[in-house]
A and B are shown apart, each in its own frame.
Chain A
């Protein structure tokens, strides 16, 4: 079977089981500022920047669907300790949270959703953080630091989207966005194995099943025997079993060309 057919089949299976190869529809970008450190005017600028980043995700590559967009969030606090941060509300989504201590850009941290972690390597995550941190440190005031950190991440989002688009990640669709059929499939498989629904190992299972089916088909074809229903030819020249002259091939003498021999049969 051609690989493209297997990919198509995989896509159909994904649809049936209610899993998608990317995150669900993006949630609007938002700014978390529990200590009200950001002024209204500043907030508008930051949200404008986040909006631009989201818009660019769709314009830079026309084949990026909303399913593959990355939701960029911002958390700002006076001091920053990752352990104190509230838990992410949507662990299954595809988001990236920039956590920044107001006025202390060297404390900048990035929080990645589980799905993004699967496609973005640890080394690259560190590179993203370091670059955002350095850009923020270079900026002169708090607002510029936030904007610089966000701008530094902007070009990297496209690369992450490409990874998501290539289907290197299998993300579970939230139950509220699943079709009833997908929900049934999810409940059915959840009792047996979680691997089937969520993890990329599921693809291996399907590939193995397809391979087994192909082998079975091949075996069945090889086992086939051929029967003929035509009645036997009539007896000729008093022969009981056959009296056709039969074609004779001369394979040595050059005077007997194949074409001439073939014509002789007519």
Chain B
């Protein structure tokens, strides 16, 4: 769409130490443009110049209702974060972190110098691995369904018993998951949890992320795989993802 000097904003992807070396040639960003890397203060900023009109609050709220748009943009964002983080230590910015103008990068580098440096040091040489703990589906061992309750009271009592049992099972599954996650932490530099969302698949009991030094990745994956049996005995399956850029370890 031709426009009268379209105003551009600065869509931030990542931040790396000034002496970092990486190549992002051929990658296309969320706005369809090329990725730019420029040095400001102690850091290299990875960004894309995007049209402001595409990222106004109104437009974004509208786009967020469109799952195809969301999937495309979120995966593109992640692809660029991943491309940077496999080549160097870097901090990923949250989706749609946009500066009004590229000139603001120097100010940002100056104002946040200590904070950025400390965060880079924290994740240096490490990447994130995700482990989700899912409950294996198991048929309830309650009373048979063709055993019709004789009264409304009995129906309600049965229903309550069944709910109590479900709650208890959920508690036990969560406890087992926490125990396993603590063991996984022994080969990780840090660990954290990702909040469960409303309307998320209810078989998830715990969603965890681990910051693992690259030289420990083999051991970490072996440890997780070695726990699958124990997890299954506790009615859980483990879902490992990664390596991720250190998304979950950028803020205190």
Chains A and B are bound partners:
no
Please list the residues of chain A having a beta carbon within 8 angstroms of any beta carbon in chain B.
none
